[in-house]
């Protein structure tokens, strides 16, 4: 059973647009949700994260919106740049243990 689901599988936006990546989860016990960014040939790296006690987290052009009631969250990338082209993984954990990853969203930003 997939604990964390992501959509869309792939997304293409123009430079300057806002990219929206979606994530949902099953387990109500999850309390920490990191997003990882992965470039080809590299391992994933932490981009931004949120705790379930918050409904929004911003870091520069990256914002997480979190809806605990609906068990959904989304990553918004404002003013998308070609350098943002990567695969983005939503993950979830309880107490920072045993992270469960979604299948990823492949983002392409066209100049």
Tokens of 31: 């309390």
The one segment of 23-31, 62-70, 75-83, 99-107 that binds other proteins by CB under 8 A: 99-107
- Bridge partners, 57 (sequence order): 64
Residue that has been written with the tokens 């309390």 in this structure: 31
Between 29 and 46, name the residue whose CB sits nearer to other proteins.
46
> Any contact of residue 65 with other proteins (CB under 8 A)?
no
The verdict on 49 binding other proteins (CB under 8 A) reads yes
Would you count residue 52 as binding other proteins (CB under 8 A)? no
SS3 sequence of the chain? CCCEEEECCEEEEECCCCEEEEEEECCCCCCEEEEEEECCCCCCEEEEEEECCCCEEEECCEEEEEECCCCEEEEEECCCCHHHCEEEEEEEEECCEEEEECCCEEEEEEC
- One of 45, 56, 78, 82 touching other proteins (CB under 8 A): 45
How far apart are alpha carbons 72 and 33 in whole angstroms? 11
Residues 16-35 that bind other proteins (CB under 8 A): 32, 34
| Shortest spacing between CB 74 and other proteins, in angstroms | 17
By the rule CB under 8 A, 40 interacts with other proteins: no
Task: Kindly state whether residue 103 participates in binding other proteins, applying the rule CB under 8 A.
Answer: yes
Provide the binding-site residues for other proteins, judged by CB under 8 A: 6, 32, 34, 36, 41-46, 49, 89, 95-104
């Amino acid at each position: 059973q997939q604990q964390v689901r992501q959509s869309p599988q792939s997304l293409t936006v123009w430079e300057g647009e806002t990219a929206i990546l979606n994530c949902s989860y099953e387990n109500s016990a999850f309390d920490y949700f990191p997003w990882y960014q992965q470039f080809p040939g590299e391992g994933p790296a932490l981009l931004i994260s949120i705790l379930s006690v918050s409904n929004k987290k911003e870091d520069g052009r990256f914002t997480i919106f979190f809806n605990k009631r609906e068990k959904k969250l989304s990553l918004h990338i404002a003013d998308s740049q070609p350098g943002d082209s990567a695969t983005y993984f939503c993950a979830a954990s309880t107490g920072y243990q045993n992270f469960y990853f979604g299948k990823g969203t492949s983002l392409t930003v066209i100049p």
